[in-house]
Amino acid sequence: MSYVGPDFDPPQPRRPRRGPLTVALAALVPGALIGWFVYEAVGSPGGGSSAHASSASTGSSVSPTSTASNDDKPPGPSPLKGKVVVIDPGHNVTNFQHTAEINRKVDIGTNWKECDTTGTSTNAGYSEAQFTMDVSHRLKAILEKQGVTVKLTHDTGSPSWGPCVDQRARIGNDAHADAALSIHADGAPAGDRGFHVILPASVHAGGADTRAIVGPSAVLGRGIASNYRRVTGEPFSNYVGDGTGLDTRKDLGGLNLSTVPKVFIECGNMRDGKDAALLTNGAWRQKAAQGISEGIVSFLES
């Protein structure tokens, strides 16, 4: 055997030399692996998980700890948008200064009647015209908040008197109103209490023809009577309507000449002490407007 001493190693097989590309890959792979592990541990640059990063890349704002809410959606259009209501505040505070004008007769189909009247008042001097204008403004504000278009037949200071009953009806007709209401308060003897709603009778005479509106006006009137009583607590009239709170008439120009569903409401008796105490109270008048509005809205939604 040949001797192999400590200072002598046998010759080893020669290894092939590494090329430049091999060296580069060997350096990059460990770095890439380290970076991937760090990314998975820490998360995306936005601080979320890889799932969050995927959502962010698609533009989604939903995170793992939150869900979409309907509260963020803008409110839809009011179901009453486009509906038109005409409110007719009974009488005018300055009618008493224009007696010649308001006493002029106008044709209401069944007969001729005064253009308008002064209305009544409480014993303390609070006029029906003041009451009707106040309730009309309150009612208008409530309905407009629900998307309804509201028109008044007249407003404070304009016109200076009237308008005549035939013109009041025409305003509702020209507006193609979905509903029209004339607001009043009664002047019956003391002891007569409560409210009533006046419905149009079936009239077909002269320039009056209510046949098409009798049915829908009755629906409107019943809805107003029911809601007004519930909200205000005011009882049905004890002197008109036989306890039903409804009365049908054919001698009112504002109803006879209307071509749209229309009713009158006598909100209470100004000459009765108990009713007068309510009619002169602002908080109660707000209830009156609320009750009327709920009746109108129920009709518009039907």
* Size of the chain in residues: 302
Query: In this predicted model, what pLDDT tens digit does every residue of 23-80 receive, in sequence order?
Result: 343 444 444 444 444 444 444 433 343 333 333 333 333 333 334 444 555 566 788 9
Report domain extents, the chain: 20-62, 84-301
Over range 155-177, report the average pLDDT.
Answer: 95
Catalytic annotation present for 40 = no
Residue 170 has pLDDT above 60, yes or no: yes
Query: In this predicted model, what pLDDT tens digit does every residue of 211-267 receive, in sequence order?
Result: 999 999 999 999 999 999 999 999 999 999 999 999 999 999 999 999 999 999 999
Pairing of strands 112-114, 105-107: antiparallel
Beta bridge partners of 266: 184, 196
**What letter represents residue 104's amino acid?**
R
Per-residue confidence (pLDDT) for residue 139, from 0 to 100: 98
Domain at 84-301: CATH code = 3.40.630.40
Query: In this predicted model, what pLDDT tens digit does every residue of 171-213 receive, in sequence order?
Result: 999 999 999 999 999 999 999 999 999 999 999 999 999 999 9
Query: In this predicted model, what pLDDT tens digit does every residue of 95-148 receive, in sequence order?
Result: 999 999 999 999 999 999 999 999 999 999 999 999 999 999 999 999 999 999
Average pLDDT value over all residues in the chain: 83
Per-residue confidence (pLDDT) for residue 102, from 0 to 100: 97
d(CA 34, CA 44): 15
Q: How many CB atoms lie within 10 A of CB 53?
A: 15
What are the start-end ranges of the E strands in 177-238?
Answer: 179-186, 196-200, 204-205, 208-209
Pairing of strands 196-200, 262-269: antiparallel
List 114, 128, 144, 266, catalytic entry: 266
Residues 6+ apart with CB under 8 A from 131: 185, 267, 270, 279, 280, 285
Per-residue confidence (pLDDT) for residue 157, from 0 to 100: 80
Per-residue confidence (pLDDT) for residue 131, from 0 to 100: 98
